Structure 1
């Protein structure tokens, strides 16, 4: 899925958050979005999800106006948003049931996704019986089970400890491989943005200030890479101004 924003003003009628946004998100890329609190990151995400119409300008999906929520765009929050009375398996089945898949088929697909995120042995547990990291794994499985063409992620790993967070980042990259899904990932964490993103978008002072390509290959150990170090300094400087 391709997203295109042209001279877009985003927010609510009584309080715009971002103005004059020109941005294109390419099909299949991971675009990470960073910026200080209150800069409009979540507003951008909710606009792409179809939950907030633009106040001005144009927003399109595959060259067609983006109007309202749609099943081919999945939204993932920092809070896992799992239904507490449903098992992990039943939570992952939910979007498949909405799509009208037969019970047996959606059960098989849910089991396959839970296995893929390492939760095959937790399928029949209720959310409160598993850890925060496991709930986020289940939320990721639920989001991807319906095969969305775009996944919009609002700081999904922000509440996790450092080790669990790193594991979730690795898992996200692994499970996205081969899906072709376009991902827009909001984060406060610069290192997370540079590890996950093919490009990183910088927001500040109510504007999109820059979009930078991220050096590849994706490697946690590449701390000494001059290009990555320069980009990290550039992003941190942008956030501090």
Structure 2
């Protein structure tokens, strides 16, 4: 009989993530230029931008433990990251839902892998589908949903296991403008209550300035504070306009 692992009963504390003189790349020896030194405090939403090929997706996979650094050290709470773990969740641009599983079953899948008790899996999936506005779609298959709805399912699946860090790789890049804005607002509402640290890669400067507490300019080594994080009405505020200009110049 397999042991079961109950989910934590309180929201997780966000993870402190850090890269110490890390050279990003792939095990075949293909290295990206330069090194990365970056500290991400618990509970921060860090937006990451940079030109194509600078290593944004590689950075996320390194933080997830899917790619080892070619040099330097990557840590979580000052302990080396040596591989994937349930305390970190990845969210991709393409939802990667299993087409033969219902919406609810897709959300429950990572909990089943962790051997969370079945009743608790069902409760958690139902709760998260309600939080992302998809409770009535629990028994639908992914092909019966719109692109925005599938991304909501992916977000619910990522957060259902109460990760301490959520690593997001241009998750809203394929959505139309209205749906993208809705997903941005949903992300802000949900993450605010989880305590999780978020690293959000995007090619959209406005999205980075809206969502981030800070914006990391990968490739230049600069990290800039955001004057009005998560305030859509502050788009034309002088500090926001200046930050957008500085980011665009760096790109």
Taking structure 1 as the reference length, the TM-score comes to: 0.95
Q: Could you say which residue in structure 2 is the equivalent of 1:114?
A: 129
Q: Distance in 2 between matches of 1:114 and 1:96?
A: 14
Structure 2 unpaired stretches of 5+: 1-14
**Structural mapping, 1:144-159, within 5 Å:** 144-159=159-174
Specify every segment of 5 or more residues in structure 1 that has no aligned partner in the other structure, as ranges: none
2:18 aligned residue: 4
For residues 83-104 of structure 1, what are the alpha-carbon distances to aligned partners after superposition, in whole Å with 9 as ceiling and x for unaligned? 1000000001111112222222
Write the distance in 1 (CA, Å) between the matches of 2:236 and 2:95. 35
Partner secondary structure for residue 227 of structure 1: helix
Give the aligned length: 236
Q: Structure 1 or 2: larger strand share? A: 1
- 1:21 paired with 2:33, answer no
CA contact (8 A) 1:33 1:202 kept: yes
The alignment yields a C-alpha RMSD, in angstroms, of: 1.1
Give the alignment of 1:1-241 within 5 angstroms: 1-12=15-26, 13-203=28-218, 207-216=219-228, 218-239=230-251
Q: Deviations over 1:89-141 (max 9, x none)?
A: 00011111122222222111101100000001111000000100000000000
Kept after mapping to 1: 8 A contact 2:210/2:229: no
**Which portions of structure 1, spanning 4 or more consecutive aligned residues, are displaced by more than 2 angstroms?**
none
Distance 1:217 1:20 in 2: 27
